[in-house]
Every structure is written in C-alpha cells, then in structure tokens.
Amino acid sequence: MIQRTRSLPLGTSILSGLVILGLVPIVLRYLNGLGATTNLSDGRAWGFWISFDLYCGVALAAGGFTLAGAVYIFNLRKYHAVVRPAVLTAFLGYTLVVLALLVDLGQPWYIWHAMIYWNVHSPLFEVAICVMTYTAVLALEFSPAVFERFNWRVPLRIIRAIQIPLVITGVVLSTLHQSSLGSMLLLMPDTLHALWYSPILPILFLTSAVAVGPAMVIFESTLSNRAFGHKLDLDVLSGLARAIPYILGLYLLLKLVDLMVAGELGLLFSGYPHNLLWWAEITVGVVLPIVLFSLASVRQSRRQLFWCSVLVVIGLVLNRFNASMLALDMRPGFTYFPHWMELAISVGLVADALLVVVLAYRFLPMAYHEEVAAETG
C-alpha cells in the first residue's frame, strides 16, 4: 500500500514562495548595500519602503489600540471577540515596520541607538521610542493566547492583572506616534505640496488612523471567516461600521477647514496633477464610505461591509503614499520609481505576516478563548 504524503495547502505554498522571494533581495541588500536593491538616490531620500511599510503599516495596525481601548477601557464587551485578532494584526504590523526599517536604514546595526541617544526635539525619536515600546506592549497583550494554548496559568494571571494598564499604555503610545508620523512631515514645508502640508498634520494622521481601525477589523474578520470558518456576529460588524462615518466626517471637516483657513481651496481645482491625487483619496476613502456606511442596508450585508471597509483602507493607503512620497518634491534632475526588489521585500514581509496569522488561527485560541468563556459560563 502506497502512503501518500500530505502537501501544503495552495495558499500556504504561495505565501511561502513570496517569503523566499523577499528573502533573496534582503540578503543582497546586506551583502551589497542599499544601492544594489533600491532606486533611492540623493534626490529621493526615502521611497516605497517608508511609505508602505512605515506610514501605511503603522496606520493599518490601528485596530489594535482602538478595539482594545473600546473593550477594556470603555467596557464595550460586545466587541470582545475581535480584540485578539486586532491585537495580533497590530503586533505583526509593528513587527514588520521594525523589520522593514532594518532593511531601509543605511546602517541598521545602529537602530538601537535611539534607546540611549535621546534627541527629545526630534519627531523621529518619538516615533522610534513609541514603536519599540508599543511593539513590546502588543506582545504582552497578545501573550494570553500563547499562555492559554500551553495552559500556563501563572503568567496568564499576571497578564490579566495588568491588562488595563497595558491597554492604557498602548492607547497613549499609539496616540503619540500615529500623530508624530504627521509631525515628521512638518519639517518639510517647502517640499510637501500645499494640499497635504498643514500645521494640523499630526491631528489628521491620528484621526485617519482611528477611522481605519474599525474598517481593518471588518476587513480582517471577513477574510478570517472565509479562510478559517470563524463566523462573527453581524451585529458586531454592523456596530463597528456605524462609528466609521462619524470619524471620517470629522476627518473630512478638518481637511476642508484647514484648506479654507490656509487659503488653498483653489488648489483642489487648479493644482494639477496633485489635485487629482487629493480627490482620489478623499472620494474613494472618505466620501463614499461615509455615504455607504450610513445606509442600514449596507450595514446588514457582510459582503457590502467588507467592500466598504476596503474603500477606507484604500483611501488611507492613498493618503499615506500621497503625503510621504507622491506629493513630495524631488531635487531637480532626479527621478524615482521603486526597484522590483523594493517591492519584493515588502511583499515578502507581508506574506510572512500572513503565514503567522494562518499559524495563529490554526494553533492558538483566537476566536473563542478563556476570558470569554469565563464571562459567559
């Protein structure tokens, strides 16, 4: 009798291939330097990695602090089932930011210097400290999943005892560095286009991150339902969707009032081609979601909730790319388009995170765990 060996699922095989594809240029980068794997130059100090891995990655991980704060601080226990997946996504997002920075930095072996050489006047210092600290906080917030899996009661009780202070620390850190990513761009008033440059950039960055948090949870929950069969109550998704139009409405109001006060409203119709980028991010990621999420029929459809959340995510990605790359002037005589290795490295890191998510859902209590059981039992 011939014994058949079990092959890897197709999705896992594809993700593994993408991880390997990303590892090859990472090795080349460390052997031959940045110039061998990127199209960066003196005219373009940062590019795809900063825009995608840092600016987008940090913002898209906002579901961790928004959901944890809502459940543990404001006691909205209705959303407890989505906290652990949101925290895992946030933890992986911040881990990928750190890994991407290790590739992007010219001298990555000095990344730890921020911990001992404090430049308290630098927004980048604040971002570095908060990202490192918040990554550790997220690891502690997610650790109960591992402790429950291996039935480690003592460390589980310790984490449960400090859970509220952990969550509060995470919310404070997230608030600081989500806004400080906008503060970094305040250093470039003559480089960043007037449609994005604003004294309230830190507030705009924080508000948009808070808005994308519930959208990312809807997005993730729908995909996990399809991939792993973890059916989430529609009322939970609908409740998350109900909050999004209010946050996006505040964000849109801030954007328009800011342009009005600065006297730059005319650029919306004359600042070609940047005005097209502005209209794209606002129409796709703000106006359409506000209208659609306000409709009761949309909030009662899993499919429509998913695609509306995709709009919010796309809008945030467009905003971060516009503000951190597309709307930034370059030195005369220089051009920039991402090298295929830049794209491959980022794709490989994302695939690596997705593999961890697959393993977590397969081996850890993600959808139903002790804390919920204790409350319902």
Note the pLDDT of residue 4. Answer: 45
Omega within 30 of 0 (cis) for the link into 273: yes
pLDDT for 233 = 84
Domain segments of the chain: what residues?
40-330
Residue type, 326: L
What separation, in Å, do the N-terminal and C-terminal C-alpha atoms of the chain show? 48
Q: pLDDT tens across 60-119, in order?
A: 888 888 888 888 888 888 888 888 888 998 999 899 888 988 898 888 888 888 888 888
| Rounded Cα–Cα distance for residues 274 and 287 (Å) | 18
Cβ(94)–Cβ(131) below 8 Å: yes
Asked if the 40-330 domain carries CATH number 1.10.357.10, the reply is: no
- In which residue ranges of the chain is pLDDT below 50? 1-6, 370-377
Query: For residue 81, what pLDDT is reported?
Result: 84
Residue 221: which residues within 8 A CB-CB, separation 6 or more?
82, 85, 230, 232, 236, 237
